[in-house]
Amino acid sequence: MTIAGNKDVRVRFAPSPTGYLHVGGLRTALFNYLFARQQGGTFILRIEDTDQKRCVEGALDNLISTLNREGLHYDEGPEKGGDYGPYIQSERTEIYRKQAEELLAKGHAYHCFCSEERLEELREMQRRLRKPPMYDGKCRTLSSEEVSRNLHDGIPSVIRLKYPKEGRVVFDDVVRGRVAVENDIIDDQVLIKSDGFPTYHLANVVDDHLMKISHVIRGEEWLSSVPKHIYLYQAFGWELPVFVHLPLLLNPDRSKLSKRQGDVAVESYLEKGYLPEVIINFIALLGWHGPDDRELYTLEELEKVFTLDRINKAGAVFDIEKLNWMGGIYIRKSDVAYIADRAKPYFEAAGIDTGDREKYLKVIAVAREYVFCLSRIVDHARMFYGDVDLTDEQTKLAGEESAQRIYAFWMEALKKRKTWTKDEVNELIQQGIATLGVKGKNFYFPLRLALFGNTHGPDIPTLIDILGTDEAIRRMEACIV
Protein backbone atom coordinates (compact mmCIF):
# COMPACT_ATOMS: atom_id res chain seq x y z
CA MET A 1 0.00 0.00 0.00
CA THR A 2 1.20 3.51 -0.75
CA ILE A 3 1.24 5.32 2.57
CA ALA A 4 1.61 8.94 1.55
CA GLY A 5 -0.22 8.73 -1.75
CA ASN A 6 0.00 11.53 -4.29
CA LYS A 7 -1.73 14.19 -2.24
CA ASP A 8 -0.49 16.56 0.40
CA VAL A 9 -0.36 15.01 3.85
CA ARG A 10 -2.97 16.52 6.16
CA VAL A 11 -3.74 14.75 9.44
CA ARG A 12 -5.83 15.63 12.46
CA PHE A 13 -6.10 14.92 16.15
CA ALA A 14 -9.79 15.14 17.03
CA PRO A 15 -10.41 14.73 20.78
CA SER A 16 -13.58 15.43 22.74
CA PRO A 17 -13.29 18.02 25.54
CA THR A 18 -14.51 15.64 28.23
CA GLY A 19 -11.80 16.16 30.83
CA TYR A 20 -8.12 15.25 30.97
CA LEU A 21 -6.05 14.14 27.99
CA HIS A 22 -5.75 10.34 28.12
CA VAL A 23 -2.30 8.88 27.44
CA GLY A 24 -3.91 7.04 24.51
CA GLY A 25 -5.08 10.39 23.17
CA LEU A 26 -1.57 11.77 23.47
CA ARG A 27 -0.24 8.75 21.55
CA THR A 28 -2.76 9.44 18.77
CA ALA A 29 -1.83 13.12 18.71
CA LEU A 30 1.88 12.28 18.70
CA PHE A 31 1.69 9.81 15.82
CA ASN A 32 -0.35 12.27 13.75
CA TYR A 33 2.09 15.06 14.58
CA LEU A 34 5.18 12.96 13.78
CA PHE A 35 3.80 11.74 10.46
CA ALA A 36 2.92 15.30 9.45
CA ARG A 37 6.37 16.57 10.33
CA GLN A 38 8.18 13.65 8.72
CA GLN A 39 6.19 14.12 5.51
CA GLY A 40 6.29 17.92 5.52
CA GLY A 41 2.51 17.97 5.97
CA THR A 42 -0.05 19.73 8.17
CA PHE A 43 -1.12 18.76 11.69
CA ILE A 44 -4.64 19.88 12.63
CA LEU A 45 -6.41 20.03 15.98
CA ARG A 46 -10.17 19.56 15.68
CA ILE A 47 -12.47 19.51 18.68
CA GLU A 48 -15.32 17.00 18.51
CA ASP A 49 -17.80 18.39 21.03
CA THR A 50 -21.10 17.32 19.51
CA ASP A 51 -21.93 15.23 22.59
CA GLN A 52 -22.69 18.30 24.67
CA LYS A 53 -23.64 16.32 27.79
CA ARG A 54 -20.07 14.99 28.12
CA CYS A 55 -18.26 18.29 27.58
CA VAL A 56 -16.38 19.62 30.61
CA GLU A 57 -15.81 23.32 31.18
CA GLY A 58 -12.16 24.25 30.81
CA ALA A 59 -11.25 20.95 29.14
CA LEU A 60 -10.41 22.59 25.81
CA ASP A 61 -7.95 25.04 27.40
CA ASN A 62 -6.36 22.20 29.39
CA LEU A 63 -6.09 20.09 26.25
CA ILE A 64 -4.34 22.81 24.26
CA SER A 65 -2.06 23.59 27.21
CA THR A 66 -1.05 19.93 27.56
CA LEU A 67 -0.28 19.57 23.86
CA ASN A 68 1.84 22.73 23.99
CA ARG A 69 3.71 21.53 27.10
CA GLU A 70 4.52 18.33 25.24
CA GLY A 71 5.78 20.26 22.22
CA LEU A 72 3.00 19.11 19.86
CA HIS A 73 2.19 22.46 18.27
CA TYR A 74 -0.61 22.20 15.73
CA ASP A 75 -0.70 24.11 12.43
CA GLU A 76 -4.46 24.65 12.20
CA GLY A 77 -7.15 24.57 14.86
CA PRO A 78 -8.82 26.53 17.66
CA GLU A 79 -7.04 29.79 18.53
CA LYS A 80 -4.77 29.46 15.48
CA GLY A 81 -7.43 29.28 12.78
CA GLY A 82 -6.82 28.08 9.23
CA ASP A 83 -8.50 27.84 5.84
CA TYR A 84 -10.90 25.02 6.80
CA GLY A 85 -12.50 26.23 10.04
CA PRO A 86 -14.33 26.42 12.27
CA TYR A 87 -12.30 23.71 14.02
CA ILE A 88 -14.85 23.13 16.78
CA GLN A 89 -17.69 20.85 15.65
CA SER A 90 -20.44 22.55 17.65
CA GLU A 91 -19.81 25.57 15.44
CA ARG A 92 -20.36 23.49 12.27
CA THR A 93 -23.84 22.05 12.90
CA GLU A 94 -25.40 23.66 9.82
CA ILE A 95 -22.81 21.94 7.65
CA TYR A 96 -23.73 18.52 9.05
CA ARG A 97 -27.44 19.16 8.74
CA LYS A 98 -27.03 20.06 5.08
CA GLN A 99 -25.02 16.89 4.42
CA ALA A 100 -27.60 14.76 6.25
CA GLU A 101 -30.37 16.25 4.07
CA GLU A 102 -28.34 15.24 1.03
CA LEU A 103 -28.16 11.66 2.30
CA LEU A 104 -31.93 11.64 2.89
CA ALA A 105 -32.56 12.91 -0.63
CA LYS A 106 -30.29 10.23 -2.11
CA GLY A 107 -31.96 7.46 -0.11
CA HIS A 108 -28.85 6.70 1.97
CA ALA A 109 -30.45 7.79 5.25
CA TYR A 110 -33.93 7.84 6.84
CA HIS A 111 -35.87 9.39 9.70
CA CYS A 112 -36.35 7.17 12.73
CA PHE A 113 -39.16 7.97 15.18
CA CYS A 114 -38.62 5.13 17.66
CA SER A 115 -38.79 6.25 21.29
CA GLU A 116 -35.93 5.66 23.72
CA GLU A 117 -38.23 3.29 25.63
CA ARG A 118 -38.74 1.11 22.55
CA LEU A 119 -35.01 1.12 21.79
CA GLU A 120 -34.18 0.08 25.35
CA GLU A 121 -36.72 -2.75 25.19
CA LEU A 122 -35.14 -3.85 21.90
CA ARG A 123 -31.65 -3.81 23.41
CA GLU A 124 -32.83 -5.74 26.47
CA MET A 125 -34.42 -8.42 24.30
CA GLN A 126 -31.23 -8.72 22.25
CA ARG A 127 -29.19 -9.04 25.43
CA ARG A 128 -31.43 -11.88 26.63
CA LEU A 129 -30.98 -13.62 23.29
CA ARG A 130 -27.24 -12.94 23.44
CA LYS A 131 -27.33 -11.01 20.21
CA PRO A 132 -25.31 -7.86 19.49
CA PRO A 133 -27.39 -4.72 20.09
CA MET A 134 -28.56 -3.37 16.74
CA TYR A 135 -31.47 -1.31 15.51
CA ASP A 136 -34.07 -3.57 13.90
CA GLY A 137 -34.91 -1.22 11.03
CA LYS A 138 -38.54 -0.57 12.04
CA CYS A 139 -38.55 2.92 10.52
CA ARG A 140 -36.38 1.98 7.57
CA THR A 141 -39.38 1.21 5.36
CA LEU A 142 -41.73 4.02 6.38
CA SER A 143 -43.46 5.63 3.43
CA SER A 144 -42.74 9.24 2.57
CA GLU A 145 -46.31 10.06 3.65
CA GLU A 146 -45.77 8.54 7.10
CA VAL A 147 -42.50 10.38 7.48
CA SER A 148 -44.04 13.70 6.49
CA ARG A 149 -46.99 13.17 8.85
CA ASN A 150 -44.73 12.30 11.78
CA LEU A 151 -42.51 15.29 11.15
CA HIS A 152 -45.56 17.56 10.85
CA ASP A 153 -46.90 16.21 14.14
CA GLY A 154 -43.61 17.03 15.84
CA ILE A 155 -42.75 13.47 16.80
CA PRO A 156 -39.10 13.45 17.97
CA SER A 157 -36.79 11.77 15.49
CA VAL A 158 -33.23 11.02 14.56
CA ILE A 159 -31.65 10.49 11.16
CA ARG A 160 -30.12 7.06 10.60
CA LEU A 161 -27.73 5.74 7.99
CA LYS A 162 -29.45 3.31 5.61
CA TYR A 163 -26.63 0.83 5.52
CA PRO A 164 -26.84 -2.07 3.02
CA LYS A 165 -27.58 -5.46 4.61
CA GLU A 166 -26.08 -7.70 1.93
CA GLY A 167 -22.53 -8.33 0.79
CA ARG A 168 -19.37 -7.25 2.52
CA VAL A 169 -17.00 -4.30 2.62
CA VAL A 170 -13.28 -4.75 2.06
CA PHE A 171 -10.76 -2.05 2.84
CA ASP A 172 -7.05 -1.55 3.47
CA ASP A 173 -5.51 -0.33 6.70
CA VAL A 174 -1.82 0.58 6.96
CA VAL A 175 -1.46 -1.36 10.23
CA ARG A 176 -4.04 -4.14 9.78
CA GLY A 177 -3.62 -4.81 6.09
CA ARG A 178 -6.67 -6.05 4.16
CA VAL A 179 -9.84 -6.08 6.29
CA ALA A 180 -13.19 -7.60 5.31
CA VAL A 181 -16.48 -7.08 7.20
CA GLU A 182 -19.88 -8.61 6.49
CA ASN A 183 -22.53 -5.93 6.00
CA ASP A 184 -25.25 -7.73 7.97
CA ILE A 185 -23.43 -7.05 11.25
CA ILE A 186 -23.28 -3.29 10.68
CA ASP A 187 -25.92 -1.19 12.46
CA ASP A 188 -27.97 1.62 10.96
CA GLN A 189 -25.97 4.29 12.73
CA VAL A 190 -27.64 7.44 14.05
CA LEU A 191 -26.22 10.39 12.09
CA ILE A 192 -28.22 13.30 13.51
CA LYS A 193 -29.53 13.08 17.08
CA SER A 194 -32.90 14.38 18.24
CA ASP A 195 -31.19 17.51 19.60
CA GLY A 196 -29.97 18.37 16.11
CA PHE A 197 -26.32 17.58 16.81
CA PRO A 198 -24.49 15.05 14.63
CA THR A 199 -22.93 11.89 15.97
CA TYR A 200 -19.21 11.26 15.68
CA HIS A 201 -19.66 9.19 12.54
CA LEU A 202 -21.28 11.81 10.33
CA ALA A 203 -19.30 14.78 11.66
CA ASN A 204 -16.05 12.86 11.44
CA VAL A 205 -16.47 11.91 7.78
CA VAL A 206 -17.80 15.32 6.72
CA ASP A 207 -15.02 17.19 8.47
CA ASP A 208 -12.27 14.87 7.27
CA HIS A 209 -13.42 15.45 3.69
CA LEU A 210 -13.95 19.20 3.93
CA MET A 211 -10.64 19.66 5.77
CA LYS A 212 -8.89 17.56 3.12
CA ILE A 213 -7.58 14.99 5.61
CA SER A 214 -5.32 12.58 3.73
CA HIS A 215 -4.66 10.04 6.49
CA VAL A 216 -7.00 9.08 9.32
CA ILE A 217 -4.69 7.99 12.17
CA ARG A 218 -6.67 6.93 15.24
CA GLY A 219 -7.11 4.19 17.83
CA GLU A 220 -7.99 0.59 17.01
CA GLU A 221 -11.35 0.95 18.77
CA TRP A 222 -12.60 2.83 15.69
CA LEU A 223 -11.70 0.03 13.27
CA SER A 224 -15.20 -1.49 13.48
CA SER A 225 -16.70 1.85 12.41
CA VAL A 226 -14.76 2.04 9.14
CA PRO A 227 -17.46 0.25 7.05
CA LYS A 228 -20.01 2.93 8.04
CA HIS A 229 -17.54 5.65 7.23
CA ILE A 230 -16.66 4.13 3.88
CA TYR A 231 -20.35 3.92 3.01
CA LEU A 232 -20.73 7.62 3.86
CA TYR A 233 -17.77 8.55 1.68
CA GLN A 234 -19.25 6.55 -1.17
CA ALA A 235 -22.74 7.98 -0.66
CA PHE A 236 -21.35 11.50 -0.93
CA GLY A 237 -19.10 10.55 -3.86
CA TRP A 238 -15.95 11.47 -1.97
CA GLU A 239 -12.43 10.01 -2.14
CA LEU A 240 -11.40 7.78 0.78
CA PRO A 241 -8.50 8.79 3.02
CA VAL A 242 -5.78 6.33 4.03
CA PHE A 243 -6.81 4.50 7.22
CA VAL A 244 -4.28 3.88 10.02
CA HIS A 245 -5.61 2.24 13.20
CA LEU A 246 -3.20 2.22 16.14
CA PRO A 247 -2.92 -0.81 18.45
CA LEU A 248 -4.63 -0.77 21.83
CA LEU A 249 -2.82 0.41 24.95
CA LEU A 250 -2.86 -2.33 27.57
CA ASN A 251 -2.40 -2.73 31.30
CA PRO A 252 0.36 -5.14 32.41
CA ASP A 253 -2.29 -7.87 32.70
CA ARG A 254 -3.08 -7.30 28.98
CA SER A 255 -6.48 -5.76 29.70
CA LYS A 256 -7.36 -2.46 28.00
CA LEU A 257 -5.67 0.47 29.69
CA SER A 258 -8.12 2.04 32.09
CA LYS A 259 -8.16 4.35 35.09
CA ARG A 260 -9.23 1.45 37.30
CA GLN A 261 -5.74 -0.01 37.12
CA GLY A 262 -3.61 3.11 37.07
CA ASP A 263 -3.17 6.71 36.12
CA VAL A 264 -4.12 7.48 32.51
CA ALA A 265 -4.15 11.31 32.54
CA VAL A 266 -1.21 13.02 30.86
CA GLU A 267 -1.70 16.04 33.12
CA SER A 268 -1.23 13.83 36.18
CA TYR A 269 2.19 12.64 35.00
CA LEU A 270 3.22 16.22 34.25
CA GLU A 271 2.08 17.33 37.71
CA LYS A 272 4.15 14.56 39.29
CA GLY A 273 7.17 15.97 37.55
CA TYR A 274 7.77 13.52 34.74
CA LEU A 275 9.64 15.57 32.16
CA PRO A 276 7.54 16.31 29.04
CA GLU A 277 10.27 14.88 26.82
CA VAL A 278 10.24 11.64 28.84
CA ILE A 279 6.51 11.24 28.34
CA ILE A 280 6.85 11.85 24.60
CA ASN A 281 9.72 9.37 24.29
CA PHE A 282 7.86 6.73 26.28
CA ILE A 283 4.54 7.20 24.46
CA ALA A 284 6.26 7.04 21.05
CA LEU A 285 7.44 3.50 21.79
CA LEU A 286 3.93 2.28 22.64
CA GLY A 287 3.17 0.47 19.42
CA TRP A 288 6.03 1.82 17.31
CA HIS A 289 9.71 0.96 17.00
CA GLY A 290 12.51 2.86 15.35
CA PRO A 291 14.78 1.63 12.57
CA ASP A 292 17.60 0.79 14.98
CA ASP A 293 15.49 -0.33 17.99
CA ARG A 294 16.78 2.53 20.14
CA GLU A 295 15.02 3.37 23.39
CA LEU A 296 15.83 7.07 23.75
CA TYR A 297 14.68 9.70 21.24
CA THR A 298 14.20 13.44 21.34
CA LEU A 299 11.07 14.81 19.67
CA GLU A 300 13.23 16.22 16.88
CA GLU A 301 14.80 12.82 16.28
CA LEU A 302 11.37 11.18 16.19
CA GLU A 303 10.23 13.70 13.59
CA LYS A 304 13.00 12.48 11.30
CA VAL A 305 12.69 8.70 11.72
CA PHE A 306 8.95 8.11 12.31
CA THR A 307 7.15 6.08 9.65
CA LEU A 308 3.74 4.44 9.65
CA ASP A 309 5.05 1.08 8.49
CA ARG A 310 6.83 0.62 11.83
CA ILE A 311 3.60 0.68 13.82
CA ASN A 312 2.91 -2.72 15.40
CA LYS A 313 -0.35 -4.67 15.21
CA ALA A 314 -0.10 -6.08 18.73
CA GLY A 315 -1.36 -4.12 21.70
CA ALA A 316 1.25 -2.09 23.58
CA VAL A 317 1.67 -2.50 27.35
CA PHE A 318 1.85 0.71 29.37
CA ASP A 319 4.75 -0.33 31.61
CA ILE A 320 5.14 2.20 34.41
CA GLU A 321 8.47 0.64 35.39
CA LYS A 322 9.86 1.43 31.95
CA LEU A 323 8.53 4.97 32.18
CA ASN A 324 10.26 5.37 35.54
CA TRP A 325 13.50 3.93 34.16
CA MET A 326 13.40 6.35 31.27
CA GLY A 327 12.51 9.24 33.58
CA GLY A 328 15.57 8.55 35.73
CA ILE A 329 17.88 8.51 32.72
CA TYR A 330 16.58 11.84 31.43
CA ILE A 331 16.84 13.54 34.83
CA ARG A 332 20.40 12.32 35.36
CA LYS A 333 21.60 13.20 31.85
CA SER A 334 19.90 16.58 31.47
CA ASP A 335 21.65 19.85 32.29
CA VAL A 336 21.62 20.41 36.05
CA ALA A 337 20.32 23.97 35.70
CA TYR A 338 17.43 22.75 33.54
CA ILE A 339 16.43 20.15 36.15
CA ALA A 340 16.85 22.72 38.92
CA ASP A 341 14.50 25.16 37.19
CA ARG A 342 11.93 22.45 36.54
CA ALA A 343 12.12 21.20 40.12
CA LYS A 344 11.87 24.62 41.76
CA PRO A 345 8.03 24.65 42.11
CA TYR A 346 8.19 21.44 44.17
CA PHE A 347 10.72 23.03 46.55
CA GLU A 348 8.55 26.13 46.84
CA ALA A 349 5.52 23.96 47.63
CA ALA A 350 7.56 22.25 50.36
CA GLY A 351 8.53 25.62 51.83
CA ILE A 352 12.23 25.22 51.03
CA ASP A 353 14.19 28.38 50.23
CA THR A 354 16.36 27.84 47.14
CA GLY A 355 17.67 31.39 47.05
CA ASP A 356 21.28 30.24 47.33
CA ARG A 357 21.57 29.24 43.67
CA GLU A 358 25.06 27.75 43.94
CA LYS A 359 24.02 25.49 46.79
CA TYR A 360 20.73 24.62 45.10
CA LEU A 361 22.47 23.44 41.94
CA LYS A 362 24.82 21.26 44.00
CA VAL A 363 21.83 19.78 45.86
CA ILE A 364 20.04 19.01 42.60
CA ALA A 365 23.17 17.35 41.19
CA VAL A 366 23.10 14.94 44.14
CA ALA A 367 19.36 14.44 44.61
CA ARG A 368 18.59 13.74 40.95
CA GLU A 369 20.63 10.54 41.11
CA TYR A 370 17.85 8.88 43.09
CA VAL A 371 14.64 9.93 41.31
CA PHE A 372 12.63 9.40 38.12
CA CYS A 373 10.27 12.37 38.47
CA LEU A 374 10.77 15.84 39.89
CA SER A 375 8.17 15.61 42.64
CA ARG A 376 10.40 13.07 44.40
CA ILE A 377 13.54 15.16 44.26
CA VAL A 378 12.54 17.17 47.35
CA ASP A 379 12.64 14.05 49.53
CA HIS A 380 16.27 13.51 48.54
CA ALA A 381 17.20 17.17 49.02
CA ARG A 382 15.36 18.20 52.15
CA MET A 383 18.21 17.02 54.43
CA PHE A 384 20.44 19.76 53.02
CA TYR A 385 18.02 22.38 54.34
CA GLY A 386 17.11 22.67 58.02
CA ASP A 387 18.04 20.36 60.88
CA VAL A 388 18.81 16.65 60.62
CA ASP A 389 16.22 14.54 62.43
CA LEU A 390 17.69 11.24 63.68
CA THR A 391 15.76 8.20 64.85
CA ASP A 392 16.42 6.71 68.30
CA GLU A 393 18.58 4.00 66.76
CA GLN A 394 20.57 6.55 64.73
CA THR A 395 21.01 8.75 67.81
CA LYS A 396 22.39 5.75 69.68
CA LEU A 397 24.92 5.10 66.89
CA ALA A 398 25.97 8.77 66.83
CA GLY A 399 26.47 8.67 70.60
CA GLU A 400 28.94 5.79 70.57
CA GLU A 401 32.44 6.56 71.83
CA SER A 402 34.13 6.08 68.44
CA ALA A 403 31.56 8.33 66.74
CA GLN A 404 32.11 11.06 69.31
CA ARG A 405 35.88 10.94 68.67
CA ILE A 406 35.24 11.21 64.92
CA TYR A 407 33.08 14.32 65.39
CA ALA A 408 35.66 15.95 67.65
CA PHE A 409 38.42 15.30 65.09
CA TRP A 410 36.41 16.77 62.22
CA MET A 411 35.17 19.82 64.10
CA GLU A 412 38.70 20.71 65.18
CA ALA A 413 40.03 20.28 61.65
CA LEU A 414 37.21 22.14 59.87
CA LYS A 415 37.44 25.14 62.20
CA LYS A 416 40.96 25.89 60.91
CA ARG A 417 39.63 27.47 57.72
CA LYS A 418 36.39 28.27 55.84
CA THR A 419 36.87 26.55 52.49
CA TRP A 420 38.01 23.06 51.62
CA THR A 421 38.45 21.44 48.22
CA LYS A 422 37.23 17.90 47.70
CA ASP A 423 40.81 16.70 47.44
CA GLU A 424 41.63 18.32 50.76
CA VAL A 425 38.61 16.69 52.40
CA ASN A 426 39.74 13.32 51.05
CA GLU A 427 43.17 13.92 52.60
CA LEU A 428 41.44 14.74 55.90
CA ILE A 429 39.53 11.47 55.70
CA GLN A 430 42.78 9.53 55.41
CA GLN A 431 44.27 11.49 58.32
CA GLY A 432 41.22 10.76 60.45
CA ILE A 433 41.32 7.04 59.72
CA ALA A 434 45.02 6.89 60.59
CA THR A 435 44.76 9.10 63.68
CA LEU A 436 41.61 7.54 65.17
CA GLY A 437 42.24 3.94 64.15
CA VAL A 438 38.68 3.68 62.84
CA LYS A 439 37.94 2.75 59.24
CA GLY A 440 35.27 1.53 56.83
CA LYS A 441 31.61 1.90 57.77
CA ASN A 442 32.59 2.58 61.39
CA PHE A 443 34.19 5.80 60.16
CA TYR A 444 31.79 6.84 57.40
CA PHE A 445 28.41 5.93 58.95
CA PRO A 446 28.63 8.32 61.93
CA LEU A 447 29.79 11.14 59.63
CA ARG A 448 26.95 10.64 57.17
CA LEU A 449 24.45 10.43 60.02
CA ALA A 450 25.51 13.81 61.36
CA LEU A 451 25.80 15.54 57.99
CA PHE A 452 23.02 13.82 56.01
CA GLY A 453 20.74 12.06 58.47
CA ASN A 454 21.39 8.67 56.91
CA THR A 455 24.24 6.15 56.92
CA HIS A 456 23.97 5.88 53.12
CA GLY A 457 24.24 8.78 50.72
CA PRO A 458 26.71 11.07 48.95
CA ASP A 459 30.42 10.92 49.74
CA ILE A 460 31.79 13.10 52.55
CA PRO A 461 33.58 15.65 50.30
CA THR A 462 30.30 16.28 48.45
CA LEU A 463 28.33 16.70 51.67
CA ILE A 464 30.81 19.22 53.09
CA ASP A 465 30.98 21.03 49.76
CA ILE A 466 27.18 21.47 49.72
CA LEU A 467 26.70 22.26 53.41
CA GLY A 468 29.73 24.48 53.85
CA THR A 469 32.15 24.37 56.76
CA ASP A 470 30.00 26.23 59.28
CA GLU A 471 26.89 24.10 58.71
CA ALA A 472 28.93 20.88 58.77
CA ILE A 473 30.41 21.86 62.14
CA ARG A 474 27.00 22.86 63.49
CA ARG A 475 25.50 19.49 62.53
CA MET A 476 28.31 17.55 64.16
CA GLU A 477 28.08 19.69 67.29
CA ALA A 478 24.40 18.73 67.51
CA CYS A 479 25.49 15.09 67.79
CA ILE A 480 27.91 15.63 70.67
CA VAL A 481 26.60 14.14 73.92
Catalytic residues: 259
**Residue 111: which residues within 8 A CB-CB, separation 6 or more?**
104, 139, 142, 147, 150, 151, 157, 158, 159, 160
Q: In this structure, are strands 190-192 and 215-219 parallel, antiparallel, or unpaired?
A: unpaired
Residue 327: phi and psi, rounded to 5, are -60, -40
How many angstroms separate the Cα of 273 from the Cα of each of 112, 198, 269, 335, 375?
51, 39, 7, 16, 5
Measured between alpha carbons, how far is 5 from 9 in angstroms, rounded to an integer?
Answer: 8
Where helices occur in 79-225 by DSSP H, the ranges are: 93-106, 116-128, 144-152, 200-210
Q: Which long-range contacts (CB under 8 A, 24 or more apart) does 327-330 make?
A: 327/274, 327/275, 327/278, 327/372, 327/373, 328/371, 328/372, 329/296, 330/275, 330/277, 330/278, 330/281
Residues with Cβ within 8 Å of 177's Cβ and at least 6 positions away in sequence, in order, are none
Distance CA 450, CA 347 (A): 23
Beta bridge partners of 267: none
Enumerate residues 6+ apart whose C-beta is below 8 A from 51. 16, 18, 197, 200
What's the CA gap between 270 and 274, in Å, rounded? 5
Helix (H, G, I), strand (E, B) or coil at 152: helix
Please report which helix (H) or strand (E) contains residue 135, including its range: none
Q: What angle do CA 20, 24, 28 make, to 5 degrees?
A: 110
- DSSP bridge pairs for 168: 182
Burial class (CB in 10 A: 0-12, 13-18, 19+), 462: middle
CA separation for the pair 431, 435 (Å, rounded): 6
